Structure 1
Amino acid sequence: MLKKALMCLGFLLMCMRPQSAIAESLDIYYFEYPPYYHQLANGQASGIIVDLARQVFAAAGVEPKFSFVPAKRILHEIQSGRPAASLGWFKTAEREQFAHFSLPIYVNRPVGVFFLRENEQRFRPYDTLEGLLQNGSFFFGRVQGFSEGALLDEMISKYQDKTVQVAADTIRLLKMLESRRFDFMLIPPEEVDVLLQAAQTSKDKFKLRAMNDIPQGNLRYIIYSKAVDPDLIRRIDQAIVTEIGMLPNGQ
């Protein structure tokens, strides 16, 4: 009888443990986009935003299960109805129709116009992106399906005939710029060195130029499928405030 009573007491004590002590798992999709997220040789997820997210998830009592998924498949997975999330996305009205967003987890430095240095004379008269696009003689390359942030997306949408959509990643985009398939791309300064290294090309070939009508950096968020428990999202938001703080307004 004593043994049975002790077993029952042990079971009751286990049931009384705080729920916060039990890590809740969450599938996290990421793709190859250094320096924010990329896959190491050992298969582990790494990068600026991955490291921030790990810190936040630990504080929220969440065990992230990272899965490397091609970029064009991630939004499809987010819309599939399964509980899952992905890191570092821009918030857009279109995406808010099928997904939830965290508080911002990272803010970029302002993007600049990235072009071949041999064309520096052509770009010299322009100090705004709008002016560059209005000129009509420049073609702009971007990864298909990617957002540049709400402000820039709205501006770029007026110049679809001068936009080259590339169904690939930023490495392929850079290679196409190097091959003169278009005249420029947009990139924040923190991405330049890592991208050039990944593309195995020289920094001396290119120039990054700031534009006066792009004064702020883009905010990046964790995007969740609508199957993720809102209480879990709120818990992660609280951890973002604690571990990172409230980021300034951006695009």
Structure 2
Amino acid sequence: MAPYRTRFQIPARSWPLIGLLLLLLTGCASQTQTTEPRQSDELEPTVVAYEDYHDPLQGMNRAIFAFNDVVYRYAMIPVAKGYNWLLPNPVRSSIGNAFHNIKMPIRSINYLVQLKPKAAGVDLLRFAVNSTVGLLGLFDPAEHWFNLKRTDNGFENTLSHYGSGYGTYLVLPIVGPSDLRNGSALIADFLLNPIPHLTRQPDTTYIMTFDQLQSFSGRAEQYEKLRSESDDPYLFFRNLYLQGVQRDADHQRACQQEARAC
């Protein structure tokens, strides 16, 4: 595959931020996404064991997982619980809507690269409606009034669209379970995120860190509960991630067999 190229030129002052954000990115994604990552909000009652899975980076992955685990349990989870206690769910949902809205370029540009102009147009129209009638994206009248469905899209979807595989399993600092395709896509999505281009330091760091906090807050207690119930947390969360990858692959295969868009 030809390397992805972008015409963005990053100001020198942004390079330290990129390094920081590689440690802080959550989601999501995303994803984006969210996107939150591939795991649904309601976890499966059991997790498939991938006993024969080849994990060539396991030594490094376990070290990063141990670091993440300490950060989650002693910093991020307590802050997330306080955030959830302080703000009611409707307020947190509105904040999440606003961050999703402002990240429109990530979704729309990737739709165009994927040769999906209709999806890009719908996303652009959603942005216009929600940025005005929806009060800068705090509310979602585009979906509730005009049935313009919210979607998630990013450079990982673009790589998948053109046949790139997941690559090996990878644990990223703070981000957590990932893979080579998803990890590299985070950098491309960061370049398309308007926030670093519209704000200055230190405001950029504050805003993007808050974005990651509100995204993580919905998963904080879930992580705590699952970790406490697993004999080997590293293997459990790795298998949970791989199970989500397999579920996505099966879904995509079904879409291709039925010749429908997913």
Normalising to structure 1: TM-score of the pair? 0.25
Larger radius of gyration: 1
Q: Which has the higher strand share?
A: 1
